Chains A and B, each alone.
Chain A
Amino acid sequence: EVQLVESGGGLVQPGGSLRLSCEASGFKFTSYWMTWVRQAPGKGLQWVATMKQDGSERYYLGSVQGRFSISRDNARNSLYLQMNSLRDDDSAVYYCARIKGERGYLYSQGMDVWGQGTAVTVSS
């Protein structure tokens, strides 16, 4: 079964750090670009970061650039999101997702496999 399972969310104070993990199974992880998308409570979807199969390209939402870092360990079929200097407006459910097709970050065919999400709450 094709699956993504996130972990690592929780409650953190403003200025703190968290590392999210996403473990992939049921497909060839090394063949896909992977991405993080978040959804604040009661709000819509927001793309956060994307990484190429071999890690040679990484892209970030402007408001997280310099604070968040996306990485992957292809040997462990895992994707990560290191989040530093967290702010209240980073509170959201964070989803890991697979980008469909071979075109990659742009001109893509969307995100065809999603995890269940992990909740991050930034609050004092």
Chain B
Amino acid sequence: DIQMTQSPSSLSASVGDRVTITCRASRSIASYLNWYQQKPGKAPKLLIYTSFTLEGGVPSRFSGSGSGTDFTLTITSLQPEDFATYYCQQTYNTPPTFGGGTKVEIK
């Protein structure tokens, strides 16, 4: 199985901060990397697919980049509604695996 490692596992940030979350695959997954946001007690929400394509309705402050084994999710100006847990997921190889999550908390 391809292992997906996210870092950091948690971070504290303030409204307006730029936040970067990284996701590393144990082997190349080309650009088949998706990002989700999950708030407590809620289902995940697709933010970005195939590394950098923004899902419809997702604010442009979210962006994704990377290919191969290293990927990043960037939030350019953190908003109050962005405090949540973020997961990456690869769909290059079976089974499709998720990273362990990054919890973004209010500083």
Contact = CB atoms under 8 A, between A and B. Distances in A.
B98 interface: yes
Contacts of B55: 110, 112
A47 B98 contact: yes
Interface residues of B, number: 26
- Looking at chain B's contact residues, the main secondary structure is loop
B31 to A, nearest CB: 10
B46 A47 contact: no
Interface in A85-124: 95, 97, 100, 105-112, 114-117
A106 B92 contact: yes
Contacts of B38: 45
A109 B49 contact: yes
Given A37-B44, A105-B91, 18 more contacts: A44-B99, A44-B101, A45-B87, A45-B89, A61-B95, A62-B95, A105-B96, A106-B94, A106-B96, A107-B91, A108-B91, A109-B34, A109-B53, A110-B91, A111-B34, A112-B55, A114-B45, A116-B42
Interface of B: 32, 34, 36, 38, 42-46, 49-50, 53, 55, 87, 89, 91-101
